[in-house]
Amino acid sequence: MATFSAIKILPHYPTITARSISDNIKPSSPFLSTPSLSFPLSSSSSSSKPLRSPRPLLASSSDVLSSKKPLSSNSSPSNPVVTREESLELYEDMVLGRAFEDMCAQMYYRGKMFGFVHLYNGQEAVSTGFIKLLSTADSVVSTYRDHVHSLSKGVPAREVMAELFGKATGCCRGQGGSMHMFSAPHNVLGGFAFIGEGIPVATGAAFSAKYRHEVLKESGPDGLDVTLAFFGDGTCNNGQFFECLNMAQLWKLPIVFVVENNLWAIGMSHLRATSDPEIWKKGPPFGMPGVHVDGMDVLKVREVAKEAIARARRGEGPTLVECETYRFRGHSLADPDELRKPDEKARYAARDPITALKKYILQHNLASESELKTIEKRIDEVIEEAVEFADASPPPPRSQLLENVFADPKGFGIGPDGKYRCEDPKFTQGTAQV
Amino acid sequence: MAAALQMAALVSSLSNLITSGKSRPGSLIRSPAGRKGGILVVRSDGRISGGFSASPRGGNLIANAVAAKAEAPASSTPSKSGHELLLFEALREGLEEEMDRDPRVCVMGEDVGHYGGSYKVTKGLATKYGDLRVLDTPIAENSFTGMGIGAAMMGLRPVVEGMNMGFLLLAFNQISNNCGMLHYTSGGQFKIPIVIRGPGGVGRQLGAEHSQRLESYFQSIPGLQMVACSTPYNAKGLMKAAIRSENPVVLFEHVLLYNLKERIPDEEYVLCLEEAEMVRPGEHVTILTYSRMRYHVMQAAKTLVNKGYDPEVIDIRSLKPFDLYTIGNSIKKTHRVLIVEECMRTGGIGASLRSAIIDNFWDYLDAPIMCLSSQDVPTPYAGTLEDWTVVQPPQIVAAVEQLCQ
């Protein structure tokens, strides 16, 4: 395998839908030496390194759907790759995500929510494309950019909004906030503020699925429960990422590592931070397939996701999926977003996943314009209702402060009077001292 | 009664470990196991009016510890004589019993499986339970601790071993952010019934990095419970209690204590995580200690008794939260406190304990609280230097003499 000292994607990139990447990468950094080391073009679509395990056809599945234009690809108007119901489900979910995030921005600037709020605008195709394939028993682990993952997984918009407003009716009783969305009924395992720290948790959830199957002999009828770990390009330089790729492949855990590569980690360009920016390539060195997919195209994401999730469910182990995507807003609502160039933003805005899916639906006659408008209107109502609910909900009372510190409040210890502190009826009004 | 007095005298002159097990008057039943099927629930208590502790453990275990106080020890006879084992074997026994009892209990760590654990705590378990239940992990502390946390959230009960406690510094991200806090930030939706255990403390010339005491670093993490075992008896009991607890528990073992031998009961027993242990009742001074320093204290106690002092020695066992009842009762009696710990002086367990005592028992103190801790020094390799970083029995004797002037 040739080694690279430069990051240069050649324009002819036969096997991967990296067309957009090649547009973006310019060898402008002084750290890049002269490019042009040829990429070893192998006939297989995965990396050039020979591997023991059979290479699945994952990478080439995105070939099938790849084309010059973001959508429409190989399907003709009479052969859409999704059914009508599926397409409407996808559309509704993406519109929900977008509308919710836009409302978050509004509410933030009106002083209803505080702190760090990270919005997902532009990346909806990844969340919808993956999560809509999951069942309730499957788990999702995310980062601080977790509102839309929670919504896609089924957490009601009103609970997420109430959580953002810091109300007691929020999904985490107001104790988590924007960056810590959890939902036990929907198996949303967070919501993590430090990047990378959710990946081991996701690996643990996948481990528990395997454990349940092999040790406890409890398995679902369809196979192992799958865990999806979502994280960004910046995380892929973090130790926990690599450590978990190793462990997941070692034990063939039912997990899919989904990289939402939006090219920017706050103000750090992915290219300035990463020696080899092609993240999907980091799968095969650990023995798992690495796939790159156009993350602005929900149908392509869905096709790749189907295969990756099915692999995991069958017990064949993890997959690393790199979704090339983009966030239309800044890193957070506090980010002035000055470093990204307007032409880059414009290029991606033209590939808005919602607009693209709408076009696809109409082109393939899966639904009419008015039906889509109805969906949008319904979503608007859902969001309005969510805001009203959150507004009307009470903030958490003082007595809630000490609840949930310990699952077993005996952990607060024994007081001088010989009784457990938590047995004192005024305990929750007091201070947390141990 | 005479027999008990004799026993008590024996207790104070032996450097063996004796724990008194009695019920606490008027207390709630703490262990969920209660009296089912031969399980002993053993508590440690403060004092009773006679000025001595009634039943040294091991010889006269009270089968029904939940009953009211002061059962005459002569009236209860042990059903079996117990069995002798080493501390690491006691840990293993506790772990094995819990793994038998609940199939969701699993072990993860480096070399816990085929190697049997670097201190043999998990020896034989992988053969018995399989490679998934006793998981040999790669060397990635942060990630496998996080993996344990994720598994715990989904219903398993992992026991994560740090080969040396110091290695868990690499897992600090997961222990602090996720282990301690996830139950709270999720609004109570996810429990983390994980046990994180491993040997720490100053060993025999292991060098600075293998001689760390992490209890002081972890103590501020909200949502975490910390216990330190010091005898085979409490090691097994605390291991079982930690596994059964719904809270995340860090169980601190000590490298030098693994080969302690003791006779422990044959019956199943679980100790209380939040309670301290009365090691030696006394009148003149309360000495609070834990883990290995307990033995230095007991050695000093021999000298002190010969010099005419009567120290009360309490192994606090629960480093977080503190058992303020046992500690308080002792202070109310003796009015003098000496804390002996292996932690660093700065920000150690002793520092927190001191301030907790001042908050709660200031009026009962006749003298300032003395705290003997390790020097704020990276543990040197040279044996002489290493000995000077840790508290030694002559220092303890001198401190008691100073306190009791």
| pLDDT for position B40 | 52
B359 has a pLDDT exceeding 80:
yes
Backbone angles phi, psi at A384, to 5 degrees: -60, -45
| pLDDT for position A52 | 42
Average pLDDT over residues B161-186: 95
Interface contact B358, partner A, CB < 8 A: no
Average pLDDT over residues B62-80: 39
Q: Is B275 a catalytic residue?
A: no
Catalytic residue among B71, B161, B183, B210: B210
- The reply to whether ipTM tops 0.85 is no
Burial A372-384 (b: 16+ CB within 10 A, else e): beebbeebeebbe
**Rg for chain A (alpha carbons), in Å?**
23
The Cα A66–Cα A35 span in angstroms is 26
Identify which of A201, A406, A432 has the shortest CB distance to residue B247.
Answer: A406
Identify which of B103, B184, B328 has the shortest CB distance to residue A215.
Answer: B103
Average pLDDT over residues B388-399: 96
Average pLDDT over residues B276-301: 97
CB B54 within 8 A of CB B48: yes
The Cα A290–Cα A249 span in angstroms is 12
Average pLDDT of the residues of chain B: 85
| pLDDT for position B149 | 98
Identify which of B174, B223, B326 has the shortest CB distance to residue A405.
Answer: B223
Nearest to B12 by CA among B327, B392, B302, B399: B302
| pLDDT mean values, one per 10 residues, chain A (434 residues) | 35 37 39 34 41 40 37 59 95 97 96 95 97 97 97 97 97 96 96 95 98 90 94 96 97 98 94 96 97 97 97 97 96 91 95 96 95 97 97 94 92 93 83 69
What angle do the packed helices B393-403 and B293-306 form, to 10 degrees?
Answer: 60
Instruction: State which amino acid sits at residue B85.
Output: L
Backbone angles phi, psi at A195, to 5 degrees: -70, 145
Interface contact A13, partner B, CB < 8 A: no
| pLDDT for position B79 | 52
pLDDT digits (tens, 9 = 90+) for B12-58: 443 443 333 343 443 333 434 333 444 555 555 544 333 333 333 33
| pLDDT for position A58 | 40
pLDDT digits (tens, 9 = 90+) for B228-249: 999 999 999 999 999 999 999 9
The whole-angstrom distance between B258's CA and the closest CA on chain A is 27
| pLDDT for position B43 | 53
Minimum mean pLDDT range among A59-68, B259-268, B364-373:
A59-68
B296 has a pLDDT exceeding 80:
yes
The Cα B237–Cα B221 span in angstroms is 24
Interface of B with A in 133-152 (CB under 8 A): 133, 137-138, 140, 142-152
Q: In what side-by-side order are the strands of the sheet with B157-161? A: B134-136, B105-109, B157-161, B195-200, B249-254, B225-228, B318-320
> How many CB atoms neighbour CB A417 within 10 A?
12
DSSP state of A414: B
**pLDDT classification of B62: cutoffs 50, 70, 90:** very low
Q: Do B246 and A408 touch (CB under 8 A)?
A: yes
**pLDDT classification of B377: cutoffs 50, 70, 90:** very high
B190 has a pLDDT exceeding 50:
yes
| pLDDT for position B67 | 31
Q: Is B335 a catalytic residue?
A: no
